[in-house]
Structure formats: C-alpha cells, structure tokens
Structure 1
Amino acid sequence: MHKLMALYKIPADETAFFAHYNSVHLPLVEKIPGLLKTEVTRIDRTLMGEEGNFLLAELYFADTDSFKTAMKSDENVAVGADAVAFAPGILTVMTGHTLGD
C-alpha cells in the first residue's frame, strides 16, 4: 500500500484551522481518484523528537501506480493549492509505502 502523509505543526489559530480543514480541505481530499482511505490523528504530545507537531493525515492508495495517477489528477492539484494557502509554513508532506508491500 502506498501512502501520502501530511504532518502539520501547531497553527496560530486552531479553531480557524479546524474549521477550514474539516469544511474545505478534507472534502477536497476525498475527491482524489484512487484514494482508499484517510486517517487523521490529532497529536497529543511528543515523547521523543521535534516538538510542535499537531496533526497527521495519512492517505492510502492501493499501489504506486494508483498513487502516481492520483498525484497527477486535477483533484490533487486542488488539494495542494488549498494546503499551501491555508497552512503555509506549518506543513510537511511525505510519501512512502507500508512495509511488506
């Protein structure tokens, strides 16, 4: 399984962040073709490593080919544009695959 992970730092205004994230950003994410599931985790605290992590979103795709197709889609372009606009300077995006795949 191939994944895209978005790690957000603590935003200046958590209420405004979640209002946008839940009403605008996640609905855009759900339109990405080939997306199997999305898991969003609110980070309670950091036990080791860099402080200030706030939210982790994991987007799952069946395989590398479906992931590549999704990343090239107009729907994903819209997600990226929205992320840059509402979370500047607080977002790290990573890709990978689950072990054993």
Structure 2
Amino acid sequence: MTVKLLALYTRPDDTEAFLAHYHDVHMPLIMKVPGLQKAVVNRVDANLMGGDPPYFQIAELHFADRQAFDTAMASPENRAAGKDVMSFAKGLVTMLVVTEEAA
C-alpha cells in the first residue's frame, strides 16, 4: 500500500524565487531520499469552489509502504531536505502523511 508525503504550499510572496529554489535546490535533495519511488509536483490552477485557491503547489512523495516511508524520514538525506524546506518555505508549507487507497 503506497504511503505518500504531501507537501501543500501556500502562495509565496516571490513565486519566481520560490520556484527557482524549489526546482534547482530542493528537488535535487528530495530525489536523494532513500526509498522514494516517485515525486510529483502539482501546480494549483483554480479553486472550483470559488475564490483564490488555498494552495499554490502540492508535492507528492511516494513510498512503497510505511516501513519504506519511516526509513526514508529517518535518513540523513531527508533531514537535509527538511532543513532546506524550512530555509525557503517556513510558514508556507503543511506536510501530511497519507495512505493511497484504490477506488
């Protein structure tokens, strides 16, 4: 059963600087996390319920199961990625752990 870390980002003041750091610095760190099967970055385009979307970007980090997720979270590579996210997105990011269920 796939376990995912979802990182939900609100809109930064400087979207260009945020995206440059995210893609050039943060994602290379994320891709080194052991056990990561897939990383998906979703840009939020609209809020179908009206108004501005509450999130700017949602990232999904996929792991095979809870054991792989726990091992990844305890790794030095993940600690480096966590330190980095706090350097550019503190106050902008909410992180959730979810289990994917087939419909």
The two structures have a TM-score, normalised by structure 2, of: 0.92
SS at 1:53's partner residue?
coil
**Equivalent AA in structure 2 for residue 73 of structure 1:** S
Q: Which runs of 4+ in 1 moved over 6 A?
A: none
SS at 2:90's partner residue?
coil
Deviation at 1:52, TM superposition (A): 3.1
Residue 96 (structure 1) aligns with: 98
Residue 27 (structure 2) aligns with: 26
Mark the runs of 5 or more structure 2 residues left unpaired by the alignment: none
Deviation at 1:66, TM superposition (A): 0.3
CA contact (8 A) 2:5 2:61 kept: yes
CA distance in 1, matches of 2:26, 2:100: 25
Deviation at 1:16, TM superposition (A): 0.2
> How far does the alpha carbon of each residue in 1:33-59 deviate from its partner, in whole angstroms, 9 at most, with x for none?
000000100000112388331000000
The two structures have a TM-score, normalised by structure 1, of: 0.94
2:74 to 64, 72, 75: 72
Q: What CA RMSD, in Å, does the superposition of the two structures yield over aligned residues?
A: 1.4
CA contact (8 A) 1:2 1:95 kept: yes
CA distance in 2, matches of 1:48, 1:61: 31
Aligned length: 100
Mark the runs of 5 or more structure 1 residues left unpaired by the alignment: none
